[in-house]
Amino acid sequence: MEYEVVIGLEVHAELATKTKIFCGCSTQFGGEPNTHCCPVCTGMPGALPVLNEKVVEYAIKAGLAMNCDIEQNSKQDRKNYFYPDLPKAYQISQYDLPLCKNGHLEIDVDGQKKNIGITRIHIEEDAGKLNHDEFGGGALVDLNRACVPLIEIVSEPDMRSSAEAKAYVEKIKAILEYLEVSDCKMQEGSLRADVNLSIRPKGETKFGTRTETKNLNSFKAITRAIEFEIKRQIEAVENGEEIIQETRRWDDDRGIGYAMRGKEDAHDYRYFPDPDLALIKLSAEYINNIRENLPELPDSRKQKYINELGLPEYDANIITGSKMLADFFDEATKYCDNAKSISNWIMGDLLRILTEKELEQVPFKPEYLAKLVVMIDSGKISSAIAKKVFEDMFETGENPEDIVTKKGLVQISDEGAIKEIVLKVLENNPQSIIDFKAGKDKALGFLVGQAMKESRGKANPQMLNKMFLEELNK
């Protein structure tokens, strides 16, 4: 039996407002526990919430960038549930009148483009955090995060693989970064996703029962949790078991998912309009003003890279997928016209080291990458040396020109010096000369390699090639 996977995501993003959604406390991540708090965000009886207007503005920006209709009339509701990190025993969210509806995003998986529907985007407050108590047996509550503003972006069940889900979250992350409405730091929980997943026999049109795996906060976790859940559901169905609608957790260290509780339905939350908060009424003018002032978004930047700089779509996709990389690229190409080479360095060595070290910022200036490319293009250093200089830049953040001078890495392009190396290598490798004359072209490559070694990577390889051929054909 062949199965089709059906995935819908609920993505939560913390908004980068300075203050919380209903009070003036700081939204800053971390801090001594319970120091960014007041009677409102700690849920004291009688304390009154006042909506932070920036939250509405940021949510509308996100909605517009994700092609949503913005509702001129929306409302905030209480979602009732008890949990120790939720002092009011309800979360202020939006139920039937969310701020944004009916949007969509285009994703690209291996060149295949696809639209993913967005059902709604609403605003709500985050909960606090429970920390393990090292000294006692209980848990400690930290309410610094309580009342930090969130948007929840709910997708249609339009995704059919973990790759599509990953591409979708990547797209959301890029858009929110470009809009500067969220810092999207997944490791700090600023961006996290709940995965709703079901399977059905290929060809079936009705959806199967879904499970919801909550709070995935890295792309790796999203991918692995989905793969795990697909396998689990298929195995269960093949064993004749029924899939239970439930809420699940993912343990990324152990690589396993497990059931947490039966999934509640909307009616379990006893939603009702929050009587302390007025309806949100927006003029068309207010919304239009935000629309007209939206910054450039990843898709338009991508088209610019393709059309104006001649980058392949593949490169443009990766670079514009992160605002940090795209800004870095823009800055570097101010100092050097070789956009493709800058892109190659970013996609190759730069991304490799960044992910290895889990860095969020490149430790050297974009201008320095441009300088490195200029030195390669002008023949001052070889590409092999450039790789080493690049690693050095990463460690020290220094100007590559200084690194090259200090370490004496300038490429040897002097005819006399090259000839000296070539003659020495030929003298030491008589067998290669015989091989070459017998028609074994590989021998040339070997000799060039020896010469590179001899010059510690500094000899100009084109010149070596040419000079070896001249000598061998004498």
**Binding residues vs Zn ion (CB under 5 A):** 23, 25, 38, 40-41
Q: Answer yes or no whether residue 207 interacts with ligand ADP by CB under 6 A.
A: yes
| Nearest residue to 316 via CA among 362, 352, 351, 347 | 347
Rg (CA), the chain: 29
* Closest approach of Mg ion to the CB of residue 247, in Å: 8
Among positions 8-47, residues that touch Mg ion (CB under 5 A) are: 10
Check: CB of residue 265 under 8 Å from CB of residue 38: no
Between CA 391 and CA 434 the distance in angstroms is: 39
386 binds ligand ADP, rule: CB under 6 A? no
Q: Quick check: 162 binds ligand ADP (CB under 6 A)?
A: no
Least distance from ligand ADP to the Cβ atom of residue 215, Å: 13
Q: CA 27 to CA 14: how far, in whole Å?
A: 9
* Secondary structure of 44-98 as H, E, C letters: CCCCCCCCCHHHHHHHHHHHHHCCCEECCEECCEEEECCCCCCCCCEEEECCCCC
Find the shortest distance in angstroms from Cβ 73 to Zn ion: 27
Least spacing, CB of residue 317 vs ligand ADP, in Å: 25
Could you tell me the CA-to-CA distances from 264 to 9, 80, 248, 458 in Å, in that order?
17, 12, 12, 67
Name residue 461's amino acid.
P
Which residue type occupies 65? Answer: A
CB 179, min distance to Zn ion, A: 25
- 154 counts as binding ligand ADP under rule CB under 6 A: yes
DSSP per-residue string spanning 296-363: --HHHHHHHHHHHH---HHHHHHHHTSHHHHHHHHHHTTS-S-HHHHHHHIIIIIHHHHHHHT-SS-S
Is residue 198 at the binding interface for ligand ADP, with CB under 6 A as the rule?
Answer: yes
Q: Pick the stretch among 3-11, 74-82, 86-94, 159-167 that binds Mg ion (CB under 5 A).
A: 3-11
Cα–Cα distance for residue pair 472/394, rounded to 1 Å: 41
Min dist. Cβ of residue 303 to Mg ion (A): 35
Task: Say whether residue 156 binds ligand ADP (CB under 6 A).
Answer: yes
Phi then psi for residue 446, to 5 deg, are: -60, -45
Q: Which of 403, 336, 393 is nearest to 365 (CA)?
A: 393
Binding flag, residue 217, ligand ADP (CB under 6 A): no
49 contributes a contact to ligand ADP by CB under 6 A: no
Applying CB under 6 A, does 100 fall inside the site for ligand ADP?
no
- CB 110, min distance to ligand ADP, A: 23
Residue closer to Mg ion by CB (options 10, 183) is: 10
For ligand ADP, the closer of residues 153 and 404 by Cβ is 153
Query: CB under 5 to 8 A by kind: which of ligand ADP, Zn ion, Mg ion, none does 207 bind?
Result: ligand ADP
Nearer to Zn ion, 89 or 259 (CB): 89
The listed partner (Mg ion, Zn ion, ligand ADP, none) that binds 25, CB under 5 to 8 Å by sort, is Zn ion
What does the block give as tokens for 27? 């939204």
Is residue 372 part of the contact set for ligand ADP (CB under 6 A)?
no
For residue 14, give both structure tokens. Answer: 């913390």
Q: DSSP letter for 6, please.
A: E
Of the residues 19, 144, 196, 343, which one makes contact with ligand ADP according to CB under 6 A = 196
Report d(CA 70, CA 73) in Å as an integer: 9
> Which one, 21 or 332, has the nearer CB to Zn ion?
21
**Which residues, listed in sequence order, are joined to residue 70 by a DSSP beta bridge?**
100
Write the DSSP symbol of residue 187.
G
By CB under 6 A, residue 246 contacts ligand ADP: no
Residue number with CB closer to Zn ion (40 or 418): 40
Q: Is 210 in the site for ligand ADP (CB under 6 A)?
A: yes
Q: Min. distance of Cβ 208 from ligand ADP in angstroms?
A: 6
Rule CB under 6 A: say whether 6 interacts with ligand ADP: yes
Q: Which residue is nearest to ligand ADP (CB)?
A: 8
Residues β-bridged to residue 193:
11, 216
Residue numbers at the binding site for ligand ADP (CB under 6 A): 6-10, 154-157, 196-198, 207-208, 210, 212, 266
